[in-house]
Structure 1
Amino acid sequence: MNPQAPVRAADDAWLTVVYYRFRAWRGGRPFWAGLFTLIGGFPIAYFPYADLRLGNITIAMATTAGAGSLIIGILLMTLGVALWFQQGIRVFAGVASILLALVSLPVSNLGGFFIGFLFSLLGGALALSWAPGKPAGPEAEAEGVTDHAPAYADAPVGGVPGQRGMETAYPSYPSETTAHADGGRNSAG
């Protein structure tokens, strides 16, 4: 028996617990909106102060509004982190992220060469579209929230067992394999 096996199993169990806790934490907030907004702030704040060196040639990408780029980038990063810990400001943060991304186009090297602009725009849109879920359990049942299928989902479609859905309101047409009165098949079969 390998003496490392119990240690490895404990490490795997610990990683599994961390993964599921992170997954539960991530599921209760607009995680992806915050992540995209946070990532979008970095190129917007970085590129106006960056120098690109190609051999002996230095290319400065500084703009006249370098301070404005820094402020926009830091605000976007702050909004991204705030989305993770203050879900109640998601509408404000989404609108602010979109507006800051649009302002970054003329102010900050085309919004961080469109990288920061696109990430911030996507993060703002995700923040606006995110809605908290309803809790599952007895309290959800009391409120009438269930994840059962609607009543019409159990009705057969066109009289064919095994097919279910909303199509029951439409008339049933014979299929190619419908048996005739004489016991034979129709011409399609």
Structure 2
Amino acid sequence: MSAESMATGHDEHFLRGLRRRFSTWRGQRPFWAGLFTMLGGVPIAYFPYADVRLGNLTIAMATTAGAGSLIIGVLLVTLGLTMWFHALVRVFAGVAAIILALVSLPVANIGGFVFGFLFAMIGGALSIAWMPGEPLPPTAEGTPAEDRAVPEAAALPAESSIEPGEWGAPVPATSDTPETTTETNGGRKSAG
């Protein structure tokens, strides 16, 4: 790479492009749901096999539920990856993450000392709640989509199924219309 290309900011442009592509990828899937679910699986799987050393004292959390904790943790990490790479099954993955988080409370050292439980519950809930966004319509160059005004003809339906004078339709004002209208008569048609 030459000194001229570094001075003109070609690397900055490359990094900006990577950031834009990552942002687009992240917006098309329940990214935070997958991240929280994976973060929930790590402490659930790790703590039963960890040894904490305090000076000469070794604290081991090995229990008979070590295999169950490992299975729950690996399944939560797998569900988080599924949320990222197969967004169509996000509701199933979210429900499964919530169920595994609840099962981890009695099986896996109080759900990875509550940290794993909370992360997995939040990730599952975010996965269930996530919906894909509507794509923006193509715009003319130089005109942002947010600044364009919607034409009035596009905002109104072409034909109205409500005939004038029907319930809920505006009553046309004519010279023979009595003083009492549908607005002042509580929505009822007046006799006359």
Distance 2:61 2:149 in 1: 57
Aligned residue number for residue 59 of structure 2:
59
Counterpart AA for 1:49: Y
Aligned residue number for residue 46 of structure 2:
46
**Structure 1 residues 57, 82: CA separation in 2 closer, same or farther (over 3 Å shift)?**
same
Other structure's SS at 1:126 match: helix
Distance 1:40 1:7 in 2: 41
The runs of at least 4 consecutive aligned structure 1 residues that moved more than 2 Å come to 3-6, 146-149
Aligned residue number for residue 88 of structure 2:
88
Aligned residue number for residue 173 of structure 1:
none
Counterpart AA for 2:50: A
Shift of 1:148: 6.9
State the Cα deviation string for residues 93-150 of structure 1 (Å, max 9, x = none). 0000001001001111111111111100000000000011112216xxxxxxx9979x
- The alignment-based identity, stated in percent, is 62
Q: State the TM-score, normalizing by the size of structure 2.
A: 0.69
Other structure's SS at 2:58 match: strand
Counterpart AA for 1:47: F
State the Cα deviation string for residues 10-67 of structure 1 (Å, max 9, x = none). 1111100000000000000000000000111000000000000011110001121100
Other structure's SS at 1:135 match: coil
Other structure's SS at 2:82 match: helix
CA RMSD for the aligned pairs?
2.0
Other structure's SS at 2:64 match: coil
Distance 2:86 2:56 in 1: 48
Distance 2:20 2:149 in 1: 25
5+ residue gaps, structure 2, are 139-145, 153-192
Asked which structure has the greater CA Rg, the reply is 2
Aligned residue number for residue 101 of structure 1:
101
Counterpart AA for 2:133: G
Other structure's SS at 2:91 match: helix
Q: State the TM-score, normalizing by the size of structure 1.
A: 0.70
5+ residue gaps, structure 1, are 139-145, 152-189
